[in-house]
Amino acid sequence: RWERRWLNAAGLLLVLFLVLIAYSLATEGGHIAQRSGRAAPDQLTALELFANPGVTVTNLGAGRPPEVQVSVVAQSYAFNPSEILLPVGAVATFYLTSRDTQHGFQVEGTNINVQLIPGEISRFTYTFRDAGVYRVTCNEYCGIGHHNMLGTIRVL
Ligand code: CUA
């Protein structure tokens, strides 16, 4: 009888594990729809994008998720803007570049991890499905201030 109980307990644990794995796979946050390192829009578009970095609503999304455009300029040792506000569930297309040296843009708790290269635009689309505060770090050693090169994405 005890053996049977132990077997049942082991079986139960196994099921629990499978459920947890399935759950963690299903709630992996958003997903990156596309990314390309060498998108090269014409100079004018790039100027417009980065003249006033930040969030622009590109579609209010009647009946579908809103769409926003996020531009970020990295320069030793900060991101501009350092704080990005996004509505939860919005389809956010990011355009990032660097003004000086190579930097990184990694968002903790997501699979966002791109390199920012001077003269190039890193582009990707991401949907934050959970509200919260996400820390942005530079993951590319860029000099003495590297470890303090931080940002925040606030999803409301
Ligand atoms: Cu910028 Cu490390």
ipTM of the complex: 0.99
Is the CB of 138 inside a 6 Å radius of any atom of ligand 1? Answer: yes
- Res 144 pLDDT > 80: yes
Distance 22 CA to ligand 1 centre (A): 35
User: For 81-125, how does the pLDDT look when each residue is reduced to its tens digit (9 = 90+)?
Assistant: 999 999 999 999 999 999 999 999 999 999 999 999 999 999 999
Query: Are 89 and 82 in contact, with CB atoms under 8 Å apart?
Result: no
pLDDT of residue 33: 47
- Res 34 pLDDT > 70: no
CA dist., res. 133 & res. 155, Å (int): 6
DSSP H or E segment with residue 150: strand 150-155
Q: What is the DSSP letter of 64?
A: S
Distance 137 CA to ligand 1 centre (A): 8
User: For 96-105, how does the pLDDT look when each residue is reduced to its tens digit (9 = 90+)?
Assistant: 999 999 999 9
Is the CB of 140 inside a 6 Å radius of any atom of ligand 1? Answer: yes
CA-wise closest residue to 136 among 79, 86, 87:
79
